[in-house]
């Protein structure tokens, strides 16, 4: 049977009620209802009744899931449908389809304005690079698995399951996604039919792009902290015989697993910049090599980068050499073959690839290939070849084609011994053409154009020019589409950013209320660790004067290392001085601020300072360069102790220009952020506007830098746990020069600071709000004559001022150490007109203990209730077996009274449905459902009604979330005696804990009993206060109190952000109660509750869900809840809300 548009979408537009969408599928009697952010499965009887209220919207070939996007006005949901696709070919009984058109149906209503990133995601889906498999009979082949793994009955590989986050909303409501949603992969599929005599073969090349680090060419490079690389593609070369035989050979490609990038406009050049130092890159490189060994067993590297250290390829050669040297250090047994493709195959001379064959021949023999013949596995592939160039596109395409054709001869000989020469020629032609198309498709995803093959100079030139335009001007919006699909639409929300810092990576897909509950109790599962941070700033007046010619005995060590020892007061206060763990060193005017440098600043001085700083800092103990960032004359370096490198992640940099209204970088700020263990740190260095009276411009510079600095996932400066800000702020002293010098001579610092512009503006709340500065007990640092102790004697005679400062702030403080300044002073380096300033600050960072996190997870999941937020209301008493449990609801007065009481205790009811066993009420969240159950039994007039949860094993749903987010790749080849990788053992332990909790709740008839020994680790309650249910008396009293305080009190002072803000509830909709229609008496009953079973696994099960019983009744009709009767509330006495 041919595939057709088997999905029908209906919608209901009702001015008095919420917008509603109904999804039907051919050959299925059930339907899915989407209304008020609720997803419900409808039985056949209710579909017949409800469908009459809907009008047809469109048809579709398949459904990809529900996209959730959070906006400033609340959450938006889109139902993503496949409305156009073409068949590529068949693989066995499964047919492969390429998606070329999709439809995004807003579930809030057709009038919803579509966000730009949603539009970009639609373009990405419609680009022809996503595929799905379909079968008219049995389940289709899993496109995420290679043929060898299919024989092992492995589950879906999440690396190549691109729309998994779109499955989550349906999964939360207990919908079996395998019956309703497609699973798509991104990459390329080429299938051809080849005839050899009387036999027919299927030839195929399948490329699967990993979503672990997906993106576009200049936005995503190298490796991330988890060891995943950009443009990682698994390519499979397949031959299917007409008698069920099959042969498969697997290759991989991926970016160089170091932290590197190509900044600025790239026009044919290869300017490579290392975004982290070699020592800081080592842990990620080691993780990547370990992953390759775990997932593919035996890996051989073919490195095609250039080796010429002179000219335009210098950066490429440096990258290649560092990759080779570091790989040998951490995985010496892994073969690493260097082959300078441009040098060896210059002018299209591919004959020299024979040199590469000589090196690869032993690897071919050791790895072999997969062969299934006569339903028996004859051989297995025992390893892969990992090929890389700079982009992993053009050169990699050519070499992978060469390797594939070499193995093709072996595959044909194994399938069809004594293959005729003409048969081999026919296969070679077909596969060569498919390899070319495969290279073009992969190139389109990553670079936006087809591959540069070297065959036509005109075509290659056109594609090169198109790449330049695409990569530099258009790829940022495409990258947003990738991020939206892979990370979801909640990336810039406070609670999700906090969860990324505190919790394991696969926990980030949990619902917002669970994340909120976990993060609010971080003190229970984190351990504070002391860290000393040294922050320095120095305006070097346009040069790289490491040492004064006049004062030869003064070095940078006097400032960076020895300044506390040279201060007698500091030395007496702290015995046994402890050196810093982190150094952040900021410079201003690192280059001369002339016109040429402002337009295109040189990086030579920055590189020279990096080398010198590392040498100086490593005098007593080694330090490693984490990263640095430069904006014209402003440059910030971060160094760490090498033993901290494995615990550093999410490093990012940004810069903001503020000169000439933001047009030039002679003034501005640079920032570096990263997470150390589980605490986020941000370092900022800035150079503000100059001038004695320009304090307002300096305030504006601070505000602009704070507002415009933006790190990945929308992180802002003040969203970090600690912010350290240094620089030449240029704030002056509001006294004339002679008065200032008089105070300086008397060392009256406290009196002089009363006129300090920074202190004045900070006290007025105009700048650096909530930042802390150490006690200033040193002379002003500006402005000196060069190589002199005399303040400015030039014609301008500028007044001395503390222009060079270091401040810091802590985001939250719940009984923790807010930070202590161990030393704050200056050094006497005289090669500039400024004196450098140094601050040593003691802080505590948090380290998450995973075993403690699981115990908190149990308690939070149990307290928050089921994600479907649905209860069943039943009539209590002796009833006949066939009595309708909802007949009492025909009395509108009784129904209204019951809903009013439930609404008062638990908040709004979003959806009402009827089943033979009872009335189904769906609330906003699981906590509201638990509140409703607590009312049971409820007396309404002469009736006693019982309320129970529809789903009593809700921890199983959380386990299914983990399965979708976890790294679950099964090894390609597993030698005897191998153990399960650590990443899988960690997830399995999480699932075991949730399965145990599900059993406990099921045993207690759906009630969670918290452990009596729960310790919060502070005076706070176990859960952060949540907002009261909507329409509750408490909420109305709070609102009245807020209105009174707003009218009768001053605005509260600005406070640091709390640990997590309350989650925004969906907008309330008032709906009248319609009359109860007639109900079908032949409704199915609720299945009896059984023991929950959460499957332990090494990979996602083939159907994509964890086997756990769900109590899902067949329901008949939906209708809105009644309005709450008006009540006279007692007046709230005036009081101050603290």
pLDDT, tens digit, 9 for 90 and up, residues 609-645:
999 999 999 999 999 999 999 998 899 999 999 999 9
> What's residue 1123's pLDDT?
39
Order of strands across the sheet that contains 918-923: 938-940, 943-949, 870-875, 918-923, 909-915, 1118-1119
Give the confidence band of 1058 by pLDDT, cuts at 50, 70, 90.
very low
The Cα 520–Cα 1025 span in angstroms is 9
End-to-end CA distance of the chain: 68
Structural contact between residues 547 and 603, judged by C-beta atoms closer than 8 angstroms: no
> What's residue 546's pLDDT?
60
Least confident of 204-213, 314-323, 787-796, 1067-1076: 1067-1076
Highest mean pLDDT among 47-51, 72-76, 708-712, 1024-1028: 708-712
| For range 798-803, the mean pLDDT | 94
Give the confidence band of 1096 by pLDDT, cuts at 50, 70, 90.
very low
Residues in the chain, overall count: 1138
Structural contact between residues 552 and 827, judged by C-beta atoms closer than 8 angstroms: no
| For range 519-546, the mean pLDDT | 88
The Cα 215–Cα 471 span in angstroms is 11
Structural contact between residues 331 and 285, judged by C-beta atoms closer than 8 angstroms: no
- The DSSP string of 843-884 is EEEEEE-HHHHHHHHHHHHHHH--TT-EEEEEE-S---TT--
| For range 313-339, the mean pLDDT | 90
The Cα 688–Cα 696 span in angstroms is 11
| For range 437-448, the mean pLDDT | 90
Highest mean pLDDT among 391-395, 459-463, 806-810, 827-831: 806-810
In this predicted structure, the answer to whether residue 1017 has a pLDDT above a threshold of 70 is no
Give the bridge partners for 41, in sequence order: 32
Give the confidence band of 930 by pLDDT, cuts at 50, 70, 90.
very high
Would you tell me how many other CB atoms lie within 10 Å of the CB of residue 292?
A: 25
Highest mean pLDDT among 348-362, 408-422, 659-673, 724-738: 724-738
Structural contact between residues 336 and 303, judged by C-beta atoms closer than 8 angstroms: yes
Give the confidence band of 724 by pLDDT, cuts at 50, 70, 90.
very high
Rg (CA), the chain: 33
| For range 1038-1059, the mean pLDDT | 42
In this predicted structure, the answer to whether residue 740 has a pLDDT above a threshold of 60 is yes
Q: Which residues of 599-638 are buried (b: 16+ CB within 10 A; e: fewer)?
A: eebebebbeebbeebbebbeeeeebbbbbbbbbbbbbbbb
Which residues contact residue 1050 at a Cβ distance below 8 angstroms, ignoring those fewer than 6 apart?
A: none
| For range 451-465, the mean pLDDT | 64
In this predicted structure, the answer to whether residue 513 has a pLDDT above a threshold of 70 is yes
Give the confidence band of 457 by pLDDT, cuts at 50, 70, 90.
low
In this predicted structure, the answer to whether residue 791 has a pLDDT above a threshold of 80 is yes
CA distances to 53, 981, 1102 from 745, in Å: 87, 67, 80
Which residue shows structure tokens 């290279």? Answer: 439
Which residues contact residue 877 at a Cβ distance below 8 angstroms, ignoring those fewer than 6 apart?
A: 944
> What's residue 116's pLDDT?
86
> What's residue 999's pLDDT?
82
Percent of the chain residues past pLDDT 90, beyond the cut:
52
Give the bridge partners for 99, in sequence order: 85
> What's residue 465's pLDDT?
67
Residue 587 DSSP one-character state: E
Q: What is the pTM of this model?
A: 0.85
Backbone angles phi, psi at 890, to 5 degrees: -70, -25
Give the confidence band of 442 by pLDDT, cuts at 50, 70, 90.
very high
Would you tell me how many other CB atoms lie within 10 Å of the CB of residue 8?
A: 18
- Between 421-447 and 394-415, two packed helices, what is the crossing angle to 10 degrees? 150
């Amino acid at each position: 049977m041919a595939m057709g548009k088997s999905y029908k979408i209906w919608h209901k537009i009702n001015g008095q009620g919420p917008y509603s969408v109904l999804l039907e599928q051919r050959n299925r009697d059930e339907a899915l209802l989407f209304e008020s952010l609720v997803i419900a499965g409808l039985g056949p009887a209710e579909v017949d009744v409800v469908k009459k209220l809907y009008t047809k919207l469109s048809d579709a070939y398949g459904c990809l899931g529900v996209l959730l996007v959070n906006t400033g006005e609340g959450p938006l949901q889109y139902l993503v449908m496949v409305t156009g696709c073409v068949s590529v070919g068949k693989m066995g009984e499964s047919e492969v389809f390429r998606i070329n058109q999709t439809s995004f149906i807003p579930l809030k209503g057709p009038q919803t304005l579509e966000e730009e990133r949603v539009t970009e995601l639609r373009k990405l889906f419609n680009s022809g690079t996503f595929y799905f498999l379909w079968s008219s009979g049995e389940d289709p082949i899993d496109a995420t698995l290679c043929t060898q793994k299919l024989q092992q009955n492995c589950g879906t590989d999440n690396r190549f399951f691109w729309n998994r986050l779109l499955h989550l909303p349906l999964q939360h409501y207990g919908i079996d996604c395998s019956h309703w949603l497609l699973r798509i992969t991104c990459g390329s599929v080429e299938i051809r039919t080849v005839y050899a005599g009387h036999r027919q073969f299927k030839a195929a090349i399948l490329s699967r792009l990993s979503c672990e680090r997906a993106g576009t060419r200049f936005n995503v490079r190298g490796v991330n902290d988890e060891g995943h690389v950009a443009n990682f593609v698994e390519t499979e070369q397949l031959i299917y015989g007409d008698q069920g035989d099959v042969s498969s050979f697997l290759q991989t490609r991926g970016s160089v697993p170091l932290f590197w990038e190509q900044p600025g406009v790239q026009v044919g050049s290869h300017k490579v910049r290392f975004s982290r130092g070699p020592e800081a890159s080592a842990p990620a490189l080691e993780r990547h090599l370990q992953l390759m060994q775990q997932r593919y067993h035996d890996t051989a590297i073919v490195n095609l980068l250039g080796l010429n250290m002179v000219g335009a390829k210098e950066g490429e050669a440096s990258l290649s050499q560092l990759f080779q040297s570091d790989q040998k250090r951490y995985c010496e047994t892994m073969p690493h073959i260097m082959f300078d493709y441009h040098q060896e195959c210059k002018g299209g001379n591919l004959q020299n690839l024979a040199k590469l064959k000589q090196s690869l021949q032993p690897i071919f023999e050791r790895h072999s290939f997969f062969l299934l013949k006569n339903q028996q596995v004859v051989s297995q592939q025992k390893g892969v070849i990992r090929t890389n160039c700079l982009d992993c596109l053009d050169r990699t395409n050519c070499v992978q084609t060469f390797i594939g054709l070499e193995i093709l001869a072996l595959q044909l000989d194994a399938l069809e011994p004594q293959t005729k020469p003409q048969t081999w020629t026919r296969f070679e032609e077909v596969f060569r053409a498919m390899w070319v198309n495969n290279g073009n498709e992969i190139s389109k995803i990553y670079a936006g154009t087809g591959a540069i093959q070297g065959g036509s100079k005109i075509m290659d030139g056109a594609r090169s020019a198109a790449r330049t335009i695409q990569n530099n001007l258009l790829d940022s919006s495409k990258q947003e589409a990738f991020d939206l699909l892979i990370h979801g639409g909640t990336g810039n929300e406070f609670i999700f950013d906090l969860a990324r810092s505190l919790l394991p990576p696969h926990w980030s897909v949990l619902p917002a209320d669970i994340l909120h509950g976990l993060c609010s109790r971080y003190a229970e599962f984190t351990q504070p660790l002391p860290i000393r941070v040294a922050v320095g700033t120095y305006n070097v007046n346009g040069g790289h004067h490491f040492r004064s010619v006049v004062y030869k005995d003064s070095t940078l060590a006097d400032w960076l290392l020895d300044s506390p020892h040279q201060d007698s007061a500091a030395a007496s206060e702290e015995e046994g001085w402890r050196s810093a763990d982190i150094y952040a060193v900021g410079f201003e005017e690192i280059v001369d601020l002339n016109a040429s440098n402002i337009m295109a600043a040189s990086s030579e001085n920055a590189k020279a300072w990096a080398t010198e700083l590392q040498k100086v800092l490593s005098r007593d103990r080694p330090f490693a360069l984490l990263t640095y960032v430069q904006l014209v004359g402003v440059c910030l370096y971060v160094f760490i102790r090498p033993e901290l490198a494995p615990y550093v992640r999410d490093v990012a940099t940004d810069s903001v220009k503020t000169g000439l209204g933001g047009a030039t970088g002679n003034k501005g700020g640079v920032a570096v952020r990263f997470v150390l263990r589980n605490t986020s740190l941000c370092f900022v260095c800035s150079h503000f506007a100059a001038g004695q009276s320009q304090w307002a411009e300096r305030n504006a510079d601070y505000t602009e830098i704070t507002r415009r600095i933006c790190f990945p996932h929308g992180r802002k400066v003040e969203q970090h746990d600690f912010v350290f800000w240094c620089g030449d702020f240029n704030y002056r002293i509001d006294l004339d020069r002679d008065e200032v010098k008089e105070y300086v001579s008397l060392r009256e610092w406290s009196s002089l600071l009363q006129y300090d512009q920074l202190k004045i503006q900070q006290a007025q709340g105009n700048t650096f709000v909530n930042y802390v500065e150490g006690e200033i007990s040193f002379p002003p640092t500006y402005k000196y004559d060069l190589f002199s102790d005399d303040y400015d004697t030039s014609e301008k005679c500028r007044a001395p001022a503390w222009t060079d400062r270091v401040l810091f702030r802590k985001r939250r403080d719940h009984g923790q150490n807010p930070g202590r300044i161990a030393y704050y002073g200056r050094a006497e380096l005289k090669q500039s007109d400024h004196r450098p300033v140094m601050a040593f600050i003691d802080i505590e960072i948090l380290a998450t203990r995973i075993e403690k996190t699981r115990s908190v997870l149990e308690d939070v999941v149990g307290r928050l209730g089921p994600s479907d937020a649905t209860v069943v209301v039943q009539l209590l008493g002796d009833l006949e077996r066939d009595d309708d449990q909802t007949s009492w609801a025909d009395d509108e007065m009784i129904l209204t009274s019951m809903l009013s009481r439930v609404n008062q205790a638990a908040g709004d009811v979003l959806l009402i449905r009827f089943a033979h066993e009872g009335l189904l009420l769906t609330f906003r969240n699981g906590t509201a459902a638990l509140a409703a159950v607590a009312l049971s039994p409820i007396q309404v007039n002469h009736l006693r009604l019982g309320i129970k949860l529809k789903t009593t094993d809700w921890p199983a749903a959380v386990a299914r979330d983990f399965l979708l987010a976890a790294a679950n790749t099964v090894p390609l080849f597993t030698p005897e005696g191998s153990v399960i990788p650590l990443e899988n053992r960690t997830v399995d332990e999480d699932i075991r804990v949730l399965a145990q909790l599900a059993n406990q709740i099921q045993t207690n008839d759906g009630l969670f009993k918290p452990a009596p020994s729960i310790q919060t680790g502070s005076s706070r309650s176990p859960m952060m206060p949540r907002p009261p249910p909507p329409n509750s008396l408490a909420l109305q009293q709070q609102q009245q109190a807020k209105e009174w305080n707003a009218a009768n009190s001053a605005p509260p002072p600005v406070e640091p952000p709390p640990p997590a803000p309350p989650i925004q509830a969906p907008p309330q909709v008032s709906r009248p109660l319609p009359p109860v229609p007639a109900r079908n008496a032949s409704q199915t009953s609720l299945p009896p509750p059984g023991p929950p079973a959460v499957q332990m696994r090494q990979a996602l099960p083939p159907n994509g869900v964890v086997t756990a019983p769900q109590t899902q009744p067949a329901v008949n009709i939906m209708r809105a809840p009644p309005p709450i009767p008006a009540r006279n509330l007692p007046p709230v006495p005036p009081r101050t809300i603290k």
